Amino acid sequence: MDFLTHWLAFTPVFAMPLIAAALGLIVNERAGLLNLGAEGIMLCGALVGVVAFLEFGGNPTLGFIFAVLAGAFLGFCFGFFVVVLRTNQVLTGITFVFLGIGLTGLIGVPWVNKAFSAIDPIYIPWLTDIPIIGRFFFGQDLVIYVTIILAILVWRFLYHTRMGLRLRAVGENPQAADAGGINVEGYRLLAATIGGAFIGLAGGYLSLVVAKIFVEEMTQGRGWIAVALVIFSRWSPWRAVAGGLLFGGIEALIPRLKAAGFQLPQYFLEMTPYAVTLAVLIYAAMRLRAGQEAPKALGTHYVREDRK
């Protein structure tokens, strides 16, 4: 009973960085931008969040705000490179990964390995004490509930607003969108910035709440898992939340198994999330062949002079 209760309680905590990053990538890819730099942007958000928290009196709100701003700035930079300068989207994204690793390793030295406690879970009398599921639904921190609200807003924005319809049109057929008077470059830059903000939030949560410390390369592939999660979700915010909980549950299971004394090789446990990611990609590829397609203009440039 205690094993199940603790596992469920920590599943949303491990899932939140994946969900937030996946939401940002969905916004990017719905506009036709293939951002493979999530790992680096998340890492920068993690560092900036810790720096702001430690240097401004231990205020977690400021930590999250600065993490979001850092992600938004890097997202805009990515958008500027691939939209305005028309650099290769895949290579630019990979460059941002190594940029994030190198930059945080260079300037993050004064804040490495400084443990702290930034934010605590909410306790709701009666509800949090419900056996097994109480902490899962009613014992999380405020940021997790805000992230669920953000998922609702992203879904509503993409499918129930004029701006969201235009953004998706840019990702499906930029030529037709341009012919209809939509500013393709403007919408793609907006999507890149919004997506970066979500990824920065994911990084800030990872360092301020999940780890409660900053260490070099602490994302450990979560940015890549978020990329896979977008494919698994078939570019749907709701499925991204469900998939994030699946991945988060697997990641939360590892420390629970260790605490319970399961005698499994450490490297076997640590590789489990990535093995599941590979299985998910295979499953997603099968579903895509069945007609679940990515945005048609994903990863492509649009030059207005080429419009016929």
- Tens of pLDDT, residue by residue over 143-190, are 999 999 999 999 999 999 999 999 999 999 999 999 999 999 999 999
What is the band of 287 on the pLDDT scale with cuts at 50, 70, 90? low
Predicted local distance difference test score (pLDDT) of residue 304? 74
Predicted local distance difference test score (pLDDT) of residue 26? 98
Which has the higher per-residue pLDDT, 264 or 196? 196
* Residues 21, 201: Cα–Cα separation, whole Å: 8
Predicted local distance difference test score (pLDDT) of residue 15? 96
* Residues 4, 113: Cα–Cα separation, whole Å: 31
Using the predicted structure, report yes or no on whether residue 303 has a pLDDT greater than 90.
no
* Residues 79, 82: Cα–Cα separation, whole Å: 5
* Residues 277, 231: Cα–Cα separation, whole Å: 11
Predicted local distance difference test score (pLDDT) of residue 229? 93
Predicted local distance difference test score (pLDDT) of residue 275? 83
* Per-residue pLDDT tens digits for 185-207: 999 999 999 999 999 999 999 99
Q: pLDDT above 70 covers what percent of the chain?
A: 95
The full length of the chain comes to 308
* Residues 48, 43: Cα–Cα separation, whole Å: 9
Using the predicted structure, report yes or no on whether residue 306 has a pLDDT greater than 60.
no
Torsion angle of C-alpha atoms 90, 91, 96, 97, degrees rounded to 10? 80
What is the band of 141 on the pLDDT scale with cuts at 50, 70, 90? very high
Predicted local distance difference test score (pLDDT) of residue 288? 62
Taking residues 193-222, report their average pLDDT: 96
Using the predicted structure, report yes or no on whether residue 238 has a pLDDT greater than 80.
yes
pLDDT averaged over every residue in the chain? 91
* Per-residue pLDDT tens digits for 114-137: 988 878 888 888 889 898 899 999
Taking residues 275-287, report their average pLDDT: 76
Using the predicted structure, report yes or no on whether residue 105 has a pLDDT greater than 60.
yes
Q: Return the sign of the alpha-carbon dihedral for residues 226, 246, 48, 72.
A: positive
| Domains delineated in the chain | 2-113+129-294 (1.10.3470)
Three state DSSP letters for the chain: CHHHHHHHHHHHHHHHHHHHHHHHHHHHHHCCCCCCCHHHHHHHHHHHHHHHHHHCCCCHHHHHHHHHHHHHHHHHHHHHHHHHCCCCHHHHHHHHHHHHHHHHHHHCHHHCCCCCCCCCCCCCCCCCCCCCCHHHHHCCCHHHHHHHHHHHHHHHHHHHCHHHHHHHHHHHCHHHHHHCCCCHHHHHHHHHHHHHHHHHHHHHHHHHHHHCCCCCCCCCCHHHHHHHHHHHHCCCHHHHHHHHHHHHHHHHHHHHHHHCCCCCCHHHHHHHHHHHHHHHHHHHHHHHHCCCCCCCCCCCCCCHHHCC
